[in-house]
Amino acid sequence: MFPAAEEYGVEIDLDESDVAAVRSTTPADVDATAELTFARNVFVPLTTACRYTCTYCTYYDVPGEATLLSPEEVRERVRVGADAGCTEALFTFGDDPDDRYTRIHDQLAEWGYDDIVGYLRRCCEIALEEGLLPHSNPGDLTAADFERVAPVNASMGVMLETTADVAAHSGSRRKTPGQRLHTIRAAGEAGVPFTTGLLVGIGETWRDRAESLLAIADLHDRYDHIQEVIVQNVVPNERSDFERPAVATMRRTVAMARAALPPEVSVQVPPNLSPTRELLDCGVDDLGGVSPVTKDYINPEYEWPALRELREIADTAGVPLHERLPVYDRYLPTGVRRDSFGGRSADGRWLPERVTDAIDADDVHGQRYRSVARREGPLAVPRPVSGD
């Protein structure tokens, strides 16, 4: 039994021999993958208010300063994304922002929403109306929260970060591994295609990394919902001076992820933060969401590489580069997806109708989705947009 999860009623059995096997994996033990994928997104930071104060984070604002993007601002942003050929609207915000900030709560009430989850639901609808697929990264949610937002999301995600109790998550209100695992389980119960991952270099040990990966693998084994695991190195910023993990540390952690997870689960590294080229032979097969129109609001000092550079990265590795949707092909309904690798989408379990309607919509973006999903060969990287 895994203690961090137990307090939230999540049972995770860790087999000591599995922990030892994952822990001792090296890059030489894994095969380089045969392709790289990425998604084109527009980043929509709904609010920087957050109930937590993770010490590595520069995203959250001090109480009193954070505001909310209005529905009009959200629509404006997703339109910019749609015009630039993005397929994903990435909604990110602080954890439970209306809990700590009465201003946020009052603003939501004025607009007619009970809480941030109700507002997120509306914002996802706006994205769908504009032809983009919502991928929400909302922090910890309950099962009831997932019931409310699952019908309007193509996929969602929350980083596990680590199963260890680290000082970086300090304070009376703080991120806990138990609650994170509880969130990832609730996503599985709600049938939401899910992204999670490790934040490397926040005080965790090698054993913690192995345990974190096995905890994710265990939840995926039960619910089949993990589409990708991000192996993200911490980066220093204006608020914190965390040291970047060494390249060798990242190489080993990526290889451990590849070994701990079944083959249908992708291993992602973010190309704006990580030493990407040096990780390609360790099992990486995805480069995540890359935006031609917005910065990475979470790590704003780290610019996205141009789409052109992604192609160069793939060329260096000698593998094709495919554009994907925020939701992976195996969760798409039969007839839309590119292959039939795993997944149980034929029974309609995975994607809600409002999302598949957006994918099939007979408009410009609908055509795009179909062409991305049905294409046999590599998708040509779209024309760079201005400023790219």
Ligand X SMILES: O=c1nc2n(C[C@H](O)[C@H](O)[C@H](O)CO)c3cc(O)ccc3cc-2c(=O)[nH]1
Ligand Y SMILES: C[C@H]1O[C@@H](n2cnc3c(N)ncnc32)[C@H](O)[C@@H]1O
Query: Which positions lie near ligand MET, rule CB under 6 A?
Result: 50, 57, 59, 92, 94-95, 137, 139, 158-159, 298
Which residue number, 54 or 82, has a Cβ lying nearer to ligand MET? Answer: 54
Strand, helix or coil for residue 4:
helix
List Cβ neighbours of 134 (8 Å cut-off, separation of 6 or more).
88, 89, 91, 123, 124, 127, 128, 152, 153, 154, 326, 355
Element housing 188 (H / E) = helix 177-190
296, 330, 337, 345: which one contacts ligand X (CB under 6 A)? Answer: 296
Q: Are 138 and 91 in contact (CB under 8 A)?
A: yes
Tell me whether residue 95 or residue 130 sits nearer to ligand MET (CB atom).
95
Select the binding partner of residue 60 from ligand Y, ligand X, ligand SF4, none (C-beta < 5 to 8 A, by kind): ligand SF4
How many Å apart are CA 385 and CA 388, to the nearest integer? 5
Chain positions 59 to 88 lying near ligand X, rule: CB under 6 A, are 88
**Positions in 244-273 near ligand Y (CB under 6 A):** 273
| Per-residue binding letters, 297-326, with ligand Y (x by CB under 6 A) | -xx---------------------------
Interface residue with ligand X among 135, 169, 220, 258 (CB under 6 A) is 135
Residue 54, marked binder: yes
159 near ligand X, rule: CB under 6 A = yes
**50-70 as b/e, with b when 16 or more CB fall inside 10 Å?**
bbbbbbbbbbbeeeeebebbe
Closest CA to 212 of 142, 165, 281: 165
Pick from ligand X, ligand MET, ligand SF4, none: which does 271 bind, CB < 5 to 8 A by kind?
none
* Residue with Cβ nearer ligand X (25 or 33): 33
Least Å distance, CB 356 to ligand MET, is 26
Residues in touch with ligand SF4 (CB under 6 A): 50, 52-54, 57, 59-60, 94-95, 139, 175
Question: Among all residues, whose Cβ is closest to ligand Y?
Answer: 159
Q: Are 220 and 185 spatial neighbours (Cβ–Cβ below 8 Å)?
A: no
Tokens 């795009």 -> residue: 368
Instruction: Report the length, in residues, of the chain.
Output: 388
Nearest CA to 226 out of 271, 268, 266 is that of: 266
Residue type, 112: G
Strands 36-47 and 286-290: parallel
Binding test (CB under 6 A) with ligand Y, winner from 68, 164, 214, 234: 234
Min CB(298)–ligand Y separation in Å: 4
Can you give the binding site for ligand X, defined by CB under 6 A? 39, 41, 88, 90, 135, 137, 157, 159, 195, 228, 230, 268, 270, 288-289, 296, 298, 326
Q: Which residue ranges are tagged as binding site? A: 50, 54, 57
Q: Which residue ranges are tagged as binding site for [4Fe-4S] cluster? A: 50, 54, 57
